Structure 1
Amino acid sequence: MPNKTEFKPILAIKEEDKQTILNFFGPIAEKWFEDEKCFDEAEVAKAFAAVNPNKPIDIFINSPGGSVSSALAINGILSRHKAGITIHVTGLAASAATLITSLKNAKTVISKGSLFMIHNPMSSAYGNAEELEKQIDVLNKCAESMRSIYMEKSGLDEKEIKSLMDAETWFTAEEAVEKGFADEIDNSEQVSAYMKDDHILAIAGREWDLQNLRKPSKEMLMSKKPEDPKPAAKVEDTQIVAKAEEKKPEAMTAEKLNAEHPDLFKAIVAEAVQSERKRIQALSEIDNGANHDLVIKAMFEEPMTAEQVAIETIKMQKLQSDNHAKALTEDAQALAGDLAGADNAEGALRDNKEIERQSIVAAVHSHLAKINGYK
């Protein structure tokens, strides 16, 4: 067995014997930051493009699961490999990760001490009764796809698979082989596993949060933390470290996903429509008239969330307030200047009136002098 810790995920090629290795360590989720220890179908598709389709590959996995849709897509990508595939469970294969280990064209080897867990898909939901019913339909379709994969791998009937998923069942390495989810046990290396606290599972040098899941029984684990545990192997950022062969990457497209998993594709589309409807509804609820143009723009031209529009509305109101205060200041200054000018004009008017009065008095006096004949 090759040294699993000397390779960087996600793809590595051992040059001396041309062994191709795929390392799936961490949750199955889209990577938002470079230092995140996770992987999704896009990253697997990119790595898979560098694999020689006519040479066998070894996949090492230690994952608590994650996105069901991503795991199903990864299963579809790997199922196209023409040569042999050996999957090594080196710690934990739980939830959506078991959809990868249950690849129909692969041999699954599980290290002694490793754990395996299957359950029904889960999701968070928000909305009215009709929207929640649609979400239930999506979950049911995902569960059907999962049962189909487990049945094909294990040979168990649908009734038993459903019962195991409903119970959120944990398996030891031996039980996973007994039920057909794995093909053989690797006794060359003992995997250590223990609960670090109430919900943190430490297994094979890694820690997984099981807060929202049923916990494995104490009989499946070491009773306490080892006194002198081996240091965890350092796994660097997920990246490709082998030179890709001359082959264009074949990314997973919507058309391919629809062709390979039509039910899942429909479920994803329905979920996206529901999410967009919620976004539009939330935006309409914060339309206060003053920000109407901004809300309409966020709905259709430059999509934004209600939270983002609320922030932009506050900025807009502050700008309007600042502009209003500036205009008031400028008007006050102009009015003060007008009043000062008005005082001068009134003084001039009084002076002009006095001159006019004196002229009238002089004219009247001259007229009376002529009539009365005096000077």
Structure 2
Amino acid sequence: MPTMTRKTTPIFNAKKVSNSTAELTLYAPIEDQESWWYDSVTPKGVMRSLKNLGNVSEITVRINSNGGSVFAGLAIYQYLKDHSATITIKVDGLAASAASIIAMAGDNIVMGTGAMIMVHNPWTYVVGEARELRETADMLDKISESLISVYKERTGKDEAALKQMLDASTWLTGDDAVAKGFADEVDRKTKVSASIKNGIATFNNQRFDLRAFASIPPLPEGDEDDDTLEETTEEQEELSPEGAKGDEETVKDLAELQAKYPDIFKAAVSAGVQQERTRITELNALADAPGAAAIVAVAISEGKSAAEAAIDIVKASKERLTDEGNRRQNDAKNSGIDKVPPDEAPENKDDPEATSQAEADAIVAEYKNLRGGLK
């Protein structure tokens, strides 16, 4: 009987199923640093979880994520590959971008019916001059090579074919993934509810904003109430790991958070302090640039990031260069240099040295004239 359930929140947890088996749930964005609320999957978190699980021989990794940081994804992939346990990957909904890299660490990769994998080229934001933009493009090419090597090891496909898939931002259903070597089997008993509306996709109650991707998967259109409710079957609810269902408990303010969850409050404060220290350190590193000290001081007081301050510095630098160029143009115009008679150039136009000397003599003569004939 279908039931209506609230959308689940991001989940990242690990638990032992028996003395020798464990389950790792990655239902959250893949990021480099842990957030205050531990609602993301990070290399540090995965490493800590694997250590806490102890000596287990089998680990099931459940994935429903639209990815995130490519570096974090590659690091987590390597942690799982290096672990002595047999790794079974179960794609419970979506394994896109960096999450698809993590999925490739499985000794066995199982797709739920309706689940999808997506691969694409790495991308980033960058601000800077032409040299810096070229260096960033070269870096992205290197990262793309790393991704292709991971996919190649798992699928056996040649690099050119994989490069075409990344260029096209390729979406793979379970059957597609098996056919192309990205998965080993499709679990027909495990049904994944999937829909999309206005670029927001829902896989098993987990919402993903796919508007930043170059292509959108061919999914059924979601209902009007897709933002708040999702129809699921009892069978689909069983896909969710322990703690992934139920209504969220709300906390009204920091005082209530501190009273109810002192450990989380303490961790949040500590993380906030560290983030602020990092922000200020990154901002101060920009202060040595010409004219940047005042901009950095304002950025620190207004809570701006180093990236925002860098943009302000670049804008100020462009304005300063424009003003300097205008000032020099005006100085040159006021000097009367444009009045130097052209017929004072040497007759021997084929002699560059003579031409330069004549031009210099003409400029000096005009300068003396402006100064009242001083020698």
> Does the pair score TM above 0.5?
yes
Distance 1:127 1:235, change over 3 A: same
User: In 2, are the aligned partners of 1:202 and 1:208 still within 8 Å (CA)?
Assistant: yes
Q: Which residues in structure 2 correspond to 1:1-375 (within 5 Å)?
A: 9-15=12-18, 18-30=20-32, 33-35=35-37, 37-103=39-105, 106-195=107-196, 197-218=197-218, 221-225=219-223, 229-230=231-232, 235=244, 279-280=285-286, 284-287=290-293, 305=306
Question: How far, CA to CA, are the matches of 2:191 and 2:210 in structure 1?
Answer: 22
User: In 2, are the aligned partners of 1:25 and 1:62 still within 8 Å (CA)?
Assistant: yes
Post-superposition Cα deviations, 1:238-268, rounded to whole Å, max 9, x if no partner, equal xxxxxxxxxxxxxxxxxxxxxxxxxxxxxxx
Question: How far, CA to CA, are the matches of 1:306 and 1:45 in structure 2?
Answer: 29
Question: How far, CA to CA, are the matches of 1:132 and 1:307 in structure 2?
Answer: 17
Deviation at 1:52, TM superposition (A): 3.3
User: In 1, are the aligned partners of 2:199 and 2:216 still within 8 Å (CA)?
Assistant: no
Question: How far, CA to CA, are the matches of 2:307 and 2:203 in structure 1?
Answer: 41
User: In 1, are the aligned partners of 2:12 and 2:41 still within 8 Å (CA)?
Assistant: no
Q: SS of the residue aligned with 1:142?
A: helix
Deviation at 1:228, TM superposition (A): 7.0
What code does the residue aligned with 1:235 have?
A
What code does the residue aligned with 1:222 have?
P
Distance 1:13 1:61, change over 3 A: same
Residue in structure 2 matched with residue 254 of structure 1 by the alignment: none
User: In 2, are the aligned partners of 1:283 and 1:305 still within 8 Å (CA)?
Assistant: no
What code does the residue aligned with 1:165 have?
L
Distance 1:113 1:278, change over 3 A: farther
User: In 2, are the aligned partners of 1:24 and 1:61 still within 8 Å (CA)?
Assistant: yes
User: In 1, are the aligned partners of 2:34 and 2:41 still within 8 Å (CA)?
Assistant: no
**Gapped runs of 5+ residues in structure 2?**
1-7, 249-280, 311-375
Question: How far, CA to CA, are the matches of 1:228 and 1:235 in structure 2?
Answer: 14
**Gapped runs of 5+ residues in structure 1?**
238-274, 299-303, 310-375
What code does the residue aligned with 2:130 have?
A
Aligned length: 251
User: In 2, are the aligned partners of 1:109 and 1:186 still within 8 Å (CA)?
Assistant: yes
Question: How far, CA to CA, are the matches of 1:97 and 1:180 in structure 2?
Answer: 16
Q: SS of the residue aligned with 2:231?
A: coil
Post-superposition Cα deviations, 1:101-154, rounded to whole Å, max 9, x if no partner, equal 111x62111111001100000100110000001111111111000000000101
Q: SS of the residue aligned with 2:212?
A: coil
Question: How far, CA to CA, are the matches of 1:206 and 1:117 in structure 2?
Answer: 16
Deviation at 1:287, TM superposition (A): 3.6
User: In 1, are the aligned partners of 2:112 and 2:188 still within 8 Å (CA)?
Assistant: yes
User: In 2, are the aligned partners of 1:95 and 1:118 still within 8 Å (CA)?
Assistant: yes
Q: SS of the residue aligned with 1:235?
A: coil
Q: Which has the larger radius of gyration?
A: 1
Deviation at 1:276, TM superposition (A): 6.5
Q: SS of the residue aligned with 1:71?
A: helix
Higher relative contact order (CA 8 A, sep 6+): 1
Post-superposition Cα deviations, 1:47-71, rounded to whole Å, max 9, x if no partner, equal 1112334511110010100000001
CA RMSD of aligned residues (A): 3.4
Question: How far, CA to CA, are the matches of 1:132 and 1:281 in structure 2?
Answer: 22
User: In 2, are the aligned partners of 1:71 and 1:96 still within 8 Å (CA)?
Assistant: yes
Question: How far, CA to CA, are the matches of 1:98 and 1:137 in structure 2?
Answer: 23
Deviation at 1:224, TM superposition (A): 4.2
Deviation at 1:26, TM superposition (A): 1.1
User: In 2, are the aligned partners of 1:9 and 1:235 still within 8 Å (CA)?
Assistant: no
Question: How far, CA to CA, are the matches of 1:149 and 1:306 in structure 2?
Answer: 31
Deviation at 1:187, TM superposition (A): 1.1
Distance 1:230 1:146, change over 3 A: same
Question: How far, CA to CA, are the matches of 1:228 and 1:50 in structure 2?
Answer: 34
Question: How far, CA to CA, are the matches of 1:43 and 1:57 in structure 2?
Answer: 16
Percent identity over the alignment?
31
Post-superposition Cα deviations, 1:199-243, rounded to whole Å, max 9, x if no partner, equal 10011111000111134443xx23444997028766389xxxxxx
TM-score (norm 2): 0.60
Distance 1:19 1:134, change over 3 A: same
